[in-house]
Chain A
Amino acid sequence: MESLSNRKKVLEQKPMNFWERMYLPAIIKGMRVTIRHFFKKKTTVSYPEVERPYSKNYRGMHSLKRDEEGRERCTACGLCALSCPAEAISMISAERKKGEEHLYREEKYAAVYEINMLRCIFCGLCEEACPKEAIYLDGPHVPADYLRKDFIYGKDKLVEEKFDVNLLEMANLK
């Protein structure tokens, strides 16, 4: 039958000649290949010391963002939980009290915000759903752990570190 790809090669199966039957030349050839690899540059990445850069659109661990004044952006609307196909997100909302304006941006905030990292499929629908730009999957990958309960990440692990506004401004001025 005609080959469609035109890449078909018919190999002749000739009986081996004396040199080929001796195998020694072939063995030496093979040894030359392996010794060449012996001196090649190694492709190993020594992981904890050296880390390969993540790709730009890598979706890793979630982080709950703060606004430019260091207040939590999340308003506990629940859209992320609703959009989550794995139902990994749950939250309990609370009303902002007087004097807490420097902590929470909106009048309603998430008192408890939990993501079950064993359920999460890192699809990124939560960050797409969020109207407040409060959640992003921009962290590193989720580390291993021993117990299932330790994979339910609360606000202590999710909320972004509070940054110093002055420092940020100084960096901007530069």
Chain B
Amino acid sequence: METAFIIEKFVLITIVFVLTLVIAMYSTLAERKVAGFMQDRKGPDRAGPFGILQPLADGGKFFFKEEIIPAGAHKSLFIAGPTIAIITACISSAVIPWGQQLTIGGRVIDLQVADINVGILYVFGVIALGVYGIMLGGWASNNKFSLMGAIRAASQSISYEIAMGLSIIALLMVTQTLSIKDIVAQQSGFVNWNIWVQPLGFIIFVTCAFAECNRVPFDLPECETELVGGYHTEYSSMKLGLYMFSEYINMFVSSAIMSALYFGGYNFPFMNDLGLSQNWITVIGVVVFFLKIFAFIFFFMWIRWTLPRFRYDQLMNLGWKILIPLAIANIVLTGVITLIKDTYW
């Protein structure tokens, strides 16, 4: 491997990492602002103009809080919990194509950290790993509420991963590839977006993404009304901060994946008719991609402040009795349509 390649990837990784953290940081502010606005309030507006320094203040406060590890807790696992949660949240963004190629001084730079040909499987694997963070943290706390939260998290994400995987299979039948880069490249323009061929799959995927991110209405693992704080009841200081942070990073990454898989990623309407150079199209594409991501993050928050939380049996009913049959039906439907299309056109 040549040095320039390593430097190039290193720079890209750093930018993506920093961007992820900054966006996650400001998602916390955005969440509170959106919550405020939807409840006819203003939201935090004291730290800096419009409250833009609020995340820094929150972070500082987290760092200065006393760090408590309960006496009965399994110490190493207690620390491993939030660590795994944040690491898995961060590494899942590696396969997302942020844009097309940039050509700088004759070098073609891919705006993707790693183009692995099983990109979607990688994302799935990492997301599945994410539940270990919650599971270990909850179990190591030596607290019944934490354990309940952790068990809920585990069973919830296992149930919804099935439906999510099935909805992705239907998508893969259309795209014929597992590489996220190729999937996005196929959706150039506007009419080729996968949402037009897989609307049902998209709805299932969104629902499961909510469940995987532990967002309302699927936030049963941290359900305050029943479980004190769920799996992070015993956590304090920055360890709690890391759990919350990983939730927001997950939200960002799943927004990115949703817009990449279904909404054309960096593609935007009329992108090939503008007569711009490749570099400009790439830059605009990156901006468009981030706009789509922000729209999805807003959607996440919008849903959060609209819907109440499910009851646990309702959650399981929805996952096993509705989403999985629907996803299977979607696969069959996609197969039939593909077959008809291949035979008669």
Which A residues lie at the B interface, using CB under 8 A? 24, 27, 30-31, 33-35, 37-38, 40-44, 46
Contact = CB atoms under 8 A, between A and B. Distances in A.
A34 B38 contact: yes
Interface stretch (B168-176, B287-295, B303-311): B303-311
A23 B282 CA distance: 39
A31 B305 CA distance: 9
6 contacts: A35-B38, A37-B38, A37-B40, A38-B37, A41-B40, A42-B40
A34 B40 contact: no
B63 interface: no
A31 B303 contact: yes
A42 B306 contact: no
A56 B203 CA distance: 57
B327 to A, nearest CB: 15
Contact of A40 (B40, B203, B302): B40
Contacts of B39: 37
A37 B41 CA distance: 10
Determine the main DSSP class of A at the interface with B: helix
Given A34-B302, A38-B34, A44 B307 contact: no
B42 interface: yes
Interface string B298-327: 000011011100000000000000000000
A95 B302 CA distance: 71
B45 interface: yes
A27 B42 CA distance: 25
Contacts of A34: 38, 302, 305-306
Contacts of A37: 37-40
A39 to B, nearest CB: 8
Given A38-B34, A46-B45, A31 B40 contact: no
A44 B42 contact: yes
Contact of B307 (A30, A35, A40, A42): A30
Given A38-B34, A38-B37, A42-B37, A30 B306 contact: yes
